[in-house]
Amino acid sequence: MREGTTIYEIEPWTIRETLYNPQYNRRSETVFTVANGYIGMRGHFEEGMDVPEVDALNGTYLNGFYDSADITYGEEAYGYARKRQTMLNVTDSKIIELWIEGERFNLLAGRLIDYERTLDMQTGILTRQITWESGTGKCISIRIERLVSFANKHVAMIRYTVKPLNFSGEITLVSALNGEVHNEISEGDPRAGAAFKGQVLHTIGKHETGTHMALEQQTSETEFHLWCAADHRANRKYKLKSEQQEQRLEKHFTFTLKQDTEAVLEKGIVYYTSKDYEIEHLPILAESTLKDVMKDGFKALADLQKQRLDEFWETADIQVEGDEKLQQGLRFNAFHLFQSVGRDGRTNIGAKGITGEGYEGHYFWDTETYIMPFFLYTQPDLAHQLLEFRYHTLPKARERAVEMAGSGALYPWRTIGGEEVSAYYPGGTAQYHINADVAHAVIQYTEALDDQEFLRTKGLEMLVETCRFFMSAGDWIPGKGFCINGVTGPDEYTAMVNNNTYTNIMVKDQLEFTARELKKWCDTDPDSYEAMICSPMGLTNEEIDVWERAAEAMYIHRQSGLIGQDDSFLDKGIWDFENTPAEKYPLLLHFHPLVIYRHQVLKQADLILAMYLLGHRFTKMEKVRNYAYYEPLTTHDSSLSAAIHAIIAAELGTMDPAYDFFIQSARMDLDDFHNNVKDGIHAASMAGSWLTIVGGFAGMRQNAGKLHFEPKLPPGWTRYSFRVQFQKRLLEITIEDNLTTYRLVRGEPLIVAHYGHERLVALTQPLIMKNRALQAVIFGLEGVLMPLPEKQDIYFGGTPAQLPLNYVPEEPPTVEMDENGVLGSAGSPSSEGNGKPDHSVTEPPASSVVDGEADSSTGTEAAGTSAGDEKVSSDAQKNTSKDNTSPAQSEPAQESSAAQGNDGEDTVMDTQPSAEWDPTILSNPLSHEYIYREYLMPGSIELLQQLKEQDVTVLLATDRPDAKEIMERLGIIDYFASIIQAQDIEHPKPDPEVFVLAAESVNVHPYHCMVIEDSADCLRSVREVGMKTIGVNIQHVVDHAHFTVASLTHLNAETMKRWMEIP
């Protein structure tokens, strides 16, 4: 697991630096960036930090404002990307220098008495509060506030307050615009910086009058024009002087101040470009906007900023109780996403936001796969704008498809203006899955907002064109089906392969959805269908039919019980992780791509990502096996990896590894886990932390137009809550202990699915559901219900003919346990130890709680019922000490061969063994014809009967082929709703498949199942699929089960239900 360094104070709503350390200067410039989706200002100091010993990147960026240059190749080929696009570092407008009677303020000069820099995520204001003493002993208080306006994307503002503390005299503030700016040159790391050398944004005009100044600039290749202007106002009289340099304008404001009096200078800043407006309109717009801004001042702008952030946090905040550090990280991530995303349908969100120059400001698939879901459920209007960007660039995607000898449209792997700019095609253009990612975003958006207008006017056009490209890129291969060859999937350490499973399954989903929606439209409104899409796009029913056949025949590679990441991945040698030192990561900086490509090694989630996005297309066991195989092969060198692994680990019920991965995404940038925050934030990882909470811990999935939840409480947390917007409703979800509350904040009643049970939630009817309730118990057979062959003489001391029914041995194995026969709990999954379980768990009132659900506080029952749901009986409120005493303990053992049948009537069984019975058979697995009722383990009947009375489903999981016959011979088959045996499974125990299939056979979620087993290996594997476990052979299973008992005589249904709800 990667580790970071925490250098900021842990506070819920602020990022606060109380000690300036030049070592972290550039990292903090990224963290303290303020932006609004268009303008991004790094946290570089107003006075500058131009000293060689301090690493700094003084950057201001405009989302989507770029220049181009030719890409130079050693050898060129047709279809290579021709031009690079780089987001430019633009006019530096932040500059305000402070002079105290001839001495210039600088953090590294004089004496820094007090220092604090704070980014307030509720106000959107970056503040520095400083007390500084000059070389001549003059002390001054400085407060600098900076914001980039959410109310007007063209506006930023700085309020600079100074106060002399031990002197009276002249103080000068020098405000400047500097056009001599350039981008940083990338050296060695392809993820950082640009390839431009020198200045490409040229100053072509300077304008000033009074307190106003402006610079006009133009890009070299794209010929975009930029107009940056600034104006000022102050709270007291000043002397004004103007100065000019070749590409710099300055305004000098000199105040004569008495000790302890303040001077306040406000600087309004605007940026306008010809990408949005005609060139001749730029100065007019700039002047008009500045006039309005300066009239109202900083406070008015700050009030609007707070108002917009209040609206944002109403839907986007995640509240976590029990971990302040993660709480801060989650809010920091959400804040940066909000201030980085384009809002105009013409811009997107770069991999580094607008906080730095990493990846040259390019837009990737990160947007649709990681970032858009965050906005889809918190700020759907912004999600809409992100899709508008893809629709706006569809014509260029069509051009690219033609260039790539394909039909339809091919979106670029990386871009700003819509063209492909990836110079390395194996890791760029070959990632055709970008088309499917955009399509998936369209599908999710349409269902989440029920936006049929967008689907029909724009969405289906994008879907049709991307489907057409995949049909032209794929082939029908005999013996396989429809194949898509020569592609690269999400894992960038495996390139140019055939049938990347992620790509194929995403395309399959896209083809099916598109065909289904087109046919539905044709059936319901044929006239508009013909006019709006069929005729304009030349679409025919025959073409749609081919898509359906391709989807049905889509090839997915399977080998050795696994799903192959592609056709060849499983045939490669495994990377030598053991002998790869830590300093050799990330691999891409230390090994040639061909060395990496020929091994089984992953940079990030690939197949695992498909298991998240299209989880309904995988079985539980496919997820279990493939996660177990691929995760150890993953370096997580990509910041996109940790969150997806956290989500799937949480889904599988392995919360400890899920939480470890989550920590990496939640504070990746605050704690600089990858040591490259200096180049900008990791926007996708930031969104991934939200996905981990909502999609991982809360288990939210959007499927078939409904929201499904499988909530879990992470270790160490006491409560967490979040809100999602869905189909014009705002839903609040609160998870605590063993309960989840669904509360509709606004909108019409909504049906949600909680662990598969659909329920209605309305404004006046919140829904309270149990997260974990005992719905099914899965028994092992040998060693649980009947003894292992080698243990029969221990339990029974003789042949079956000599044994009374339900015989209890006189001297059970000697172990240390409590008065209830319980040795203890092994704790949470993957933990060690044998601490005792907490038997003092308070159960909810029987009148308000049901297994799997609870009524709201209004007293009305939640809508709907389901099999297995029942109200807790009054017995649940009885003394728990009685609950832990089984009938076998409280009643004398029966001395006759008569047994109580399932209907309560006496049943007489033939207990005589066959004449051929041979005692030596005890050392081998018994054939079922040698098994009699007397072989039933002590306490079995009593426990089965109690579970039946409590409406708990009883299941059997064994790899014996004759389990049903054995159940008949033991006389207990009628207790079992389902029996899974050898012929039903592919993988024998200890593989958890048999237990998972047992749960699935009765439609019970594994998280609501409890397994009783005597095998340590089985118990360990079952925990990996999220089931609670009870071990019944305490000598060797204590460290592998959640709870252990000496025998079934020490179990009863009420105790098991209580144990099930213990975290």
CB 127 within 8 A of CB 117: yes
The 10 Å Cβ neighbour count of residue 427 is 20
| Residues 386 and 43 sit within 8 Å (Cβ to Cβ) | no
Q: Which amino acid is at 393?
A: T
Task: Provide the 3-class DSSP secondary structure of residue 373.
Answer: helix
CA neighbours closer than 13 Å in the CB half-sphere of residue 604: 22
* Cβ atoms of 927 and 916 closer than 8 Å: no
Name which of 929, 947, 954 is nearest 1053 in CA terms. Answer: 947
| Contact between residue 587 and residue 493 where contact means Cβ atoms under 8 Å apart | yes
DSSP 324-359: HHHHHHHHHHHHHHHHHS--SSS----TTTTS--GG
Give catalytic residue positions. Answer: 492
SS (H, E, C) 889-957: HHCCCCCCCEEECCCCCEEECCCCCCCCCCHHHHHCCCCHHHCCHHHCCCCHHHHHHHHHHCCCEEEEE
CA–CA distance, 390 with 37 (Å, rounded to integer): 17
**Strand-by-strand arrangement of the 757-761 sheet:** 701-703, 706-709, 750-754, 757-761
Peptide bond into 586 cis (omega under 30): yes
**Is 983 buried (19+), middle (13-18) or exposed (0-12) by CB count in 10 A?**
exposed
Residue holding tokens 């172990």? 815
Q: Are 742 and 758 in contact (CB under 8 A)?
A: no
CA-wise closest residue to 471 among 548, 538, 556, 413: 548
Distance of CA 47 to the CA centre of its chain: 39
Q: How many CA atoms lie within 13 A of 40 on its CB side?
A: 36
Q: Ramachandran region of residue 482, left (φ > 0), alpha (ψ -120 to 50) or beta?
A: beta
Sequence-distant (≥ 6) Cβ neighbours of residue 1014 within 8 angstroms: 780, 782, 783, 784, 788, 1031, 1032, 1033, 1037
Q: Could you tell me the CA-to-CA distances from 483 to 247, 408, 428, 556, 653 in Å, in that order?
A: 57, 18, 20, 9, 34
DSSP string for residues in 480-493: TEEEE-SB--S-TT
Angstrom CA distances, 430 to 84, 370, 433, 971, stand at 17, 20, 8, 62
Among residues 490, 358, 458, 295, the alpha carbon closest in space to that of 59 is found at 358
DSSP track, 152-186: -TTEEEEEEEEEESS--EEEEEEEEEE----PPBP
**Alpha carbons 564 and 139: distance in angstroms, whole number:** 68
d(CA 465, CA 447): 20
User: How far is residue 128's CA from residue 967's CA, in Å, rounded to a whole number?
Assistant: 75
Got the DSSP string for 504-555? HHHHHHHHHHHHHHHHHHHHH-HHHHIIIIIHHHT--HHHHHHHHHHHHTB-
Give the sign of the dihedral formed by CA 244, CA 250, CA 255, CA 259. negative
**Burial (CB count within 10 angstroms: exposed 0-12, middle 13-18, buried 19+), residue 1020:** buried
Helix (H) or strand (E) holding 126: strand 125-133
Structure tokens belonging to residue 473 = 């890129």
Give the list of residues 6+ apart from residue 166 with CB closer than 8 angstroms, or none: 137, 138, 139, 259
